[in-house]
Structure 1
Amino acid sequence: MEDAMVLLQTGKRLASAAHRRESICWSDDSFSLSTININSQPSTPPLSPLTETESITHLLTHIKLLLRRRASAIAALDAGLHSEAIRHFSKLLDGRRFAPQGFLAECYMHRANAYHSSGRIAESIGDCNRTLALDPTCIQALETRASILETIRCYTDSLHDLEHLKLLYNTILRDKKLPGPAWKRHNVSYREIPGKLCALTIKLQELKKRVGSGEVGNVDYYVLIGLRRGCSRSELQRAHLLLCLKHKPDKAMNFIDRCELANEHDLESVKDRAKMSALLLYRLLQKGYANVMHTIMDEEAAEKHKNKIDALALQLQQEAEEMSERKMVENKNKCLISSPSIVDSSVFQGVFCRDLSVVGDLLSRVGFNRQIPMKYEGLSC
């Protein structure tokens, strides 16, 4: 029996790997089979009514198409190819073919995990909102959305989701069974609920302390919008426009039109839950846009003020250098004017009289042994 289980698990792993490899090479419309005319207009009537066998064949082909696409998307998600997984889940969820309510809720939850791993926080929260609109008892969606909101420091909304999760855990312990039908897949077993409830109670106490201490206004809106700190005004406006086009409350409920609800009476409740969660997300995005725009405007004003101060300092430095050069030129001119241009003549007169007396002595000694009378009075200087 153990060998058989090992073989089954190995076969499942190999099949998932094969689907993942094929999903990389296939195009977006490669999953469509020729027996299904997906692109046909709904207003065009069929040439002939389908028989019961043909209807069943088409239904089974459509189910096979959905399952193959989901298997490829989950395989890509397990392999860490988040963009590939998002592409396949988007083809499933945004297509024109109807799908069951539980199937769509599971696909939205998987795509939310892929968005979260890719760092696209707003899209992840949006898919969690759609999952909870279709299935309010989805434990994984509540845990994921509460964790994301805590990551961006939106503690009030995270506390609300954890309170809802605690109420759901208490309901499970009271009823002694997991919510939904017996065949429904859960990411948690009944035996794990008491331990998770104790950990959840401790987490709630920590968040209540943070909220009580005033840590409710420092939401990381950059992570929510998907921008880096220090981004430009154009980057913020582009990201905000794309998010608004995708998460407007009136457009956030379009997914219900592609959903086959198990009970038509649940349609209004699904719409109410989807509209309320979409409105909360849209308001959070608007608040984030206003906060980030205010920060960018402050940074631009500070940068403008800094450039103005730098220009003024440069101008003052240039004026100081010009004044210093002007003073140097003036000092040099003063030195040239104040230098003595006339030398004292008495010094040269003394030297001339002394040389003249020596010449007179020499002439009196060498001239025909005849002494030439010299009048030193006339040679006096």
Structure 2
Amino acid sequence: MEDAMVLLQTGKRLASAAFRRESICRSDDSFSLPTTITTSDISSAATTPPSTPPRNPTSLSEFQNISHLLSHIKFLLRRRTAAIAALDAGLYSEAIRHFSKIVDGRRLAPQGFLAECYMHRASAYKASGRIAESISDCNKTLALDPTCIQALDTRASLLETIRCLPDCLHDLEHLKLLYNSILRDRKLPGPVWKRHNVRYREIPGKLCALTTKIQQLKQRVASGETANVDYYALIGLRRGCSRSELERAHLLLCLRHKPDKATNFIDSCEFADERDVDSVKDRAKMSALLLYRLLQKGYSSVMSTIMDEEAAEKRRKKATVQVPQTQNSSSNLDPESTLAYSVNSSNASDCDGRVNPSENETTTSSTNAFQGVFCRDLAAVGNLLSQVGFNHPLPMKYEALSC
């Protein structure tokens, strides 16, 4: 009964604590911009003295929502500034942590702002050597903004790093089309205020370099380099890793980049046009599926390599165990043959069971043959001597029994 009361009190305490947390965070997380706010309300509220109550009772809550929105915008900008500063300083784990706070938050953020944060986090992942995570963030950036030049360039360089040349060529061809459209329209894609990592006057030179690079990659593909993908770098493992390390890394990557979870980031994105949601989901699902298939191929390839190495190690251990056994069997063969030869010779000479002086001399001369047997099997030697009826003491040295 006392245990039941303790459990009940503990449950009530946990429930009340959860309710307090929810009530505290509700005003910050569930705000929305009012749709009925007008400039007349703002001007009337600004000109009304503090002692006079507001004419519209809802104006106070509307202003609170606006203040919450402004504070949220300031918070996002401060967080992004800190993340970019950490990225420029080479603190990649700190930059990843700040950008993850932004993109994984419960509050909504604009589409372009999230695309920029995903792109910066992809750069941090690339600098820290986490290729799969960097490709995933590039996929999300391109799902939100298909004309992002930096995302296409970064993903193409990552795919070239792991020698996945067909997918790299696909991204470079897409980037070439984007450069051609920029030269045709004589302006960078998107609105004027949108920031890019490239200037318009740099596009012709980049297009020439890109064309040359595409030709080189096509020659490499024609020479048969498509099957030499570095799956170790993709998964983030060292060569010669164990089976447990591979399974752990593969499990973490599958849980993180599963195609079913590819569109979860859209829930924290605020779109200017709701008609863009379906196209963003389609692009995110397609790119996530391609990455997931590449990870599965990498797992199969690395696992087959590990199994071959384990089989070779077993064969090598078996060979090292068999060599000493063969040497021991060959070394034990000579004493046994000597013992058999001595037994046969003694039985053949004493078949009638009688002993004469000449035979005693022969037996005395053959004691040297038996001295080597004393050290190995004294019982066999005694049996042989009793069979021939030899009762005289044998002259022997002490060293004969000290083996």
> What is the TM-score when the length of structure 1 is the normalising length?
0.74
Of residues 325, 337, 343, the one that matches 1:315 is 325
Contact 1:249/1:275, CA 8 A, preserved across alignment? yes
Structure 2 Cα separation of the partners of residues 326 and 39 of structure 1: 93
2:289 maps to 1:265: no
User: 1:171-320 counterparts in 2 under 5 A?
Assistant: 171-320=181-330
Structure 2 Cα separation of the partners of residues 289 and 149 of structure 1: 17
Structure 2 Cα separation of the partners of residues 174 and 41 of structure 1: 46
Q: Match of 1:159?
A: 169
Point out the structure with max Rg over C-alpha: 1
Shift, 1:311, TM fit:
1.3
Structure 1 Cα separation of the partners of residues 236 and 164 of structure 2: 15
Shift, 1:37, TM fit:
4.8
- The RMSD of aligned alpha carbons is 2.6
Q: Match of 1:4?
A: none
| Deviating 4+ runs (over 4 angstroms) | 39-44, 324-334
User: 1:54-203 counterparts in 2 under 5 A?
Assistant: 54-203=64-213
- With over 3 angstroms needed to count, the CA separation of the structure-2 counterparts of 1:105 and 1:323, relative to structure 1, is same
* Count, aligned residues: 302
Contact 1:122/1:225, CA 8 A, preserved across alignment? yes
> What is the TM-score when the length of structure 2 is the normalising length?
0.70
Contact 2:29/2:106, CA 8 A, preserved across alignment? no
Contact 1:252/1:275, CA 8 A, preserved across alignment? yes
Gaps of at least 5 residues in structure 2 are: 1-22, 32-56, 346-364, 370-403
The residue type paired with residue 215 of structure 2 is: Q
- With over 3 angstroms needed to count, the CA separation of the structure-2 counterparts of 1:135 and 1:150, relative to structure 1, is same
Q: Percent identity?
A: 71
Q: Match of 2:381?
A: none
Shift, 1:54, TM fit:
1.3
Shift, 1:51, TM fit:
2.2
Shift, 1:313, TM fit:
1.4
The residue type paired with residue 287 of structure 2 is: S
Contact 1:246/1:252, CA 8 A, preserved across alignment? no
Structure 2 Cα separation of the partners of residues 308 and 294 of structure 1: 21
Contact 2:163/2:228, CA 8 A, preserved across alignment? yes
SS at match of 1:275: helix
Contact 2:29/2:107, CA 8 A, preserved across alignment? no
Q: Match of 1:13?
A: none
Shift, 1:241, TM fit:
0.7
Shift, 1:275, TM fit:
0.5
Gaps of at least 5 residues in structure 1 are: 1-35, 341-381
Shift, 1:339, TM fit:
6.9
SS at match of 2:227: coil
- With over 3 angstroms needed to count, the CA separation of the structure-2 counterparts of 1:199 and 1:338, relative to structure 1, is same
| Per-residue deviation, residues 174-224 of structure 1 (Å, max 9, x unmatched) | 000000000101000000000000000000001000111111011000000
